[in-house]
């Protein structure tokens, strides 16, 4: 499920920039022929295809996304987390960490003042924040998974660069086991109810293929109504939803009340059969360890005749 190539102490992953890899190889060869100098111990290529140099084992890590924070704590790195964003609320211990602003506009001056030796960012930060921090010499690794496989790979890669390989491997194995258990129960089902996952309603936003949410719906035995139409997230017209006529509608918590009373959805099979549902957004929308709990909810809501309602 997870594919990873190793070259010396360099980790190659999604979006590898091979020009940078070749350039780095040439630099290392030349360095071997000159006076030894202090060099970073790791050269890694992040999810944006950027070559990142990390000195030693990170001891002061700043997380700029709730999903990254959850991964760090799940790998036993809570003590190494120097700061998080104001949205990083899980596990509860994350609430006690220093805050560097919100996800959309972190405080660069505060990040610099904390002197991290690793910043875990996301694709959202690629244009402004990442270049600004790199110009000041900070190691910034972007974590930008798209699919469920990508999420599992991200966990392993963070484990690699923080020297928590064993913990990452164990976590990924546990998640994979849960995924396979659900998959075995739904693989042979003849009928796959059509499912709409709605992240927002005004305007309506939903999810297409090549996303971890699409993967979760499929594994749970459902069929994402927009899986064949587009990749990633997209805004759609309500008329398109009505035409697709989903049998199950699962919404974000923010849109649930609207969906229940929306006359626009009244003609859909889901509305007429009372199959409009919601559950904790973080279990579906944060690409981290708790996605398997989100899978439990998808499985229950799509096939309540097979799966029990998940507990707390």
Q: Is the pLDDT of residue 18 over 90?
A: no
CB 36 within 8 A of CB 4: no
Q: Is the pLDDT of residue 3 over 70?
A: no
| pLDDT value at residue 261 | 97
What's the pLDDT tens digit per position in 269-282? 999 999 999 999 99
The verdict on whether omega for the bond into residue 203 sits within 30 degrees of 0, i.e. cis, is: yes
What's the pLDDT tens digit per position in 83-112? 999 999 999 999 999 999 998 889 999 999
Residue 64 falls in which region: left (phi positive, over 0), alpha (psi -120 to 50) or beta: alpha
Burial class (CB in 10 A: 0-12, 13-18, 19+), 60: middle
And the tokens for 73? 């704590």
The reported pTM is 0.87
Burial class (CB in 10 A: 0-12, 13-18, 19+), 183: middle
Q: What is the mean pLDDT of residues 194-208?
A: 97
Task: Set out the domains of the chain in order of their start, with CATH numbers.
Answer: 5-144 (3.40.50.1980), 188-302 (3.40.50.1980)
What's the pLDDT tens digit per position in 216-256? 999 999 999 999 999 999 999 999 999 999 999 999 999 99
């Amino acid at each position: 499920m997870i594919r990873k190539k190793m070259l010396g102490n360099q980790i190659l992953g999604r979006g590898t920039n091979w020009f940078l890899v070749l350039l780095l190889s040439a630099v290392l060869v030349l360095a071997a022929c000159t006076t030894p100098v202090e060099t970073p111990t790791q050269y890694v290529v992040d999810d944006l295809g950027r070559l990142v140099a990390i000195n030693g084992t990170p001891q002061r890590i700043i997380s700029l996304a709730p999903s990254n924070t959850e991964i760090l704590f799940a790998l036993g790195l809570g003590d190494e987390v120097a700061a998080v964003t104001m949205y990083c609320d899980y596990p509860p211990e994350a609430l006690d960490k220093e805050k560097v602003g919100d996800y959309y506009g972190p405080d660069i001056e505060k990040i610099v003042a904390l002197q991290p030796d690793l910043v875990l960012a996301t694709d959202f930060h690629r244009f402004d924040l990442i270049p600004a921090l790199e110009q000041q010499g900070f190691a910034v690794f972007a974590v930008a998974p798209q699919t469920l496989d990508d999420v599992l790979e991200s966990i392993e890669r963070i484990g690699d660069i923080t020297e928590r390989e064993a913990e990452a491997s164990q976590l990924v194995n546990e998640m994979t086991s849960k995924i396979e258990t659900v998959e075995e129960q739904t693989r042979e089902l003849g009928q796959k109810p059509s499912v709409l996952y709605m992240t927002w309603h005004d305007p309506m936003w939903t999810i297409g293929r090549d996303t971890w949410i699409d993967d979760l719906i499929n594994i749970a035995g459902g069929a994402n109504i927009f899986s064949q139409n587009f990749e990633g997230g997209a805004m759609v017209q309500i008329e398109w939803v009505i035409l697709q006529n989903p049998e199950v509608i699962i919404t974000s918590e923010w849109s649930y009340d609207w969906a229940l009373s929306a006359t626009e959805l009244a003609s859909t099979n889901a509305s007429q059969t009372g199959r409009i549902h919601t559950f904790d957004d973080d279990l579906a929308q944060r690409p981290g360890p708790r996605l398997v709990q989100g899978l439990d909810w998808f499985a229950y809501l799509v096939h309540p005749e097979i799966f029990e309602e998940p507990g707390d």
